[in-house]
Amino acid sequence: MREERTEDSVSRLPTPCKGVVTIRRLLAASALVAMILGTLLASPAGATPPTRETSSDTFDVPLDGVCVFPLLAHIEQTVTLTTFFDRFGKQTGGIITGPIFVTFSSGDASIQLAIPGPSFLDADGNVVRGTGTWVTFTSDGGFVWAAGNIVFDEFGNASQIRGVEVSICDLF
């Protein structure tokens, strides 16, 4: 059971000796000097600020041979490319964001899909990963709408899709 402290018991507590107080002050002063020197001598993070480029475009892409029927993609997009750099100005990667709308049409049938991304780029500007919803070719030759986390191969095809994928051709 714990004894409650009274005025008498507090007065009997040992007081720190003079040497302990001096060591505490020395440690506190050393920590303060270390913080000041660390702040003054630290090199700045210094990464070159990222660049941002926004572009809007509307265009059509015929997708002959993708399905057993003719297919046309009408694309409307406003995308922002953000490129990241290290402190020496060398590109380290990037991200593409923004709304992309694709209307696939074949004959009288059409389907509109939103593809918000984003896309993540490597230091060379190649798409290496995507999240959200996508329309993409796959490494095995498919053409799919996919939602989830997507990894792309060196040819820009989806090599791994963790989520849902549906063949575009099967949507018609």
SS3 state of residue 19: helix
Amino acid type, 73: A
CA distances from 15 to 18, 19, 21, 86 (A): 9, 11, 10, 54
pLDDT at residue 27, as a whole number = 55
- What's the domain range around 18? 7-41
Residues 73 and 150 in one domain: yes
Residue 88 and residue 134 share a domain: yes
Structure letter (DSSP) for residue 169 = G
- Asked whether residue 107 falls in the same domain as residue 133, the answer is yes
Whole-prediction pTM value?
Answer: 0.66
Query: Do 122 and 162 share a domain, yes or no?
Result: yes
CA dist., res. 169 & res. 1, Å (int): 77
Residue 117, pLDDT score: 80
Same domain, 36 and 66: no
pLDDT for 42 equals 46
CB burial readout 125-155, b (16+ within 10 A) else e: ebbbebbbbbbbbbeeebbbbbbeebebeee
Please give the average pLDDT of every successive group of 10 residues along the chain, which has 172 residues: 54 52 57 54 66 96 93 95 94 94 94 91 94 92 94 93 94 92
Six token digits for residue 75: 């694309």
Same domain, 137 and 70: yes
- What element of type H or E holds 164? strand 158-167
In a domain, 18, yes or no: yes
Query: What is the pLDDT, as a whole number, of residue 82?
Result: 96
- Tell me, what's the pLDDT at 32? 56
Instruction: Give the per-residue pLDDT at 165.
Output: 93
Name 139's Cβ contacts closer than 8 Å, sequence gap at least 6.
153, 155, 157, 158, 159
Instruction: Report pLDDT for 48.
Output: 86
Contacts of 114 by beta carbon, 8 Å cutoff, 6+ apart: 99, 100, 101, 133
Q: Is the dihedral of CA 158, 159, 164, 168 positive or negative?
A: positive
Same domain assignment for residues 129 and 154: yes
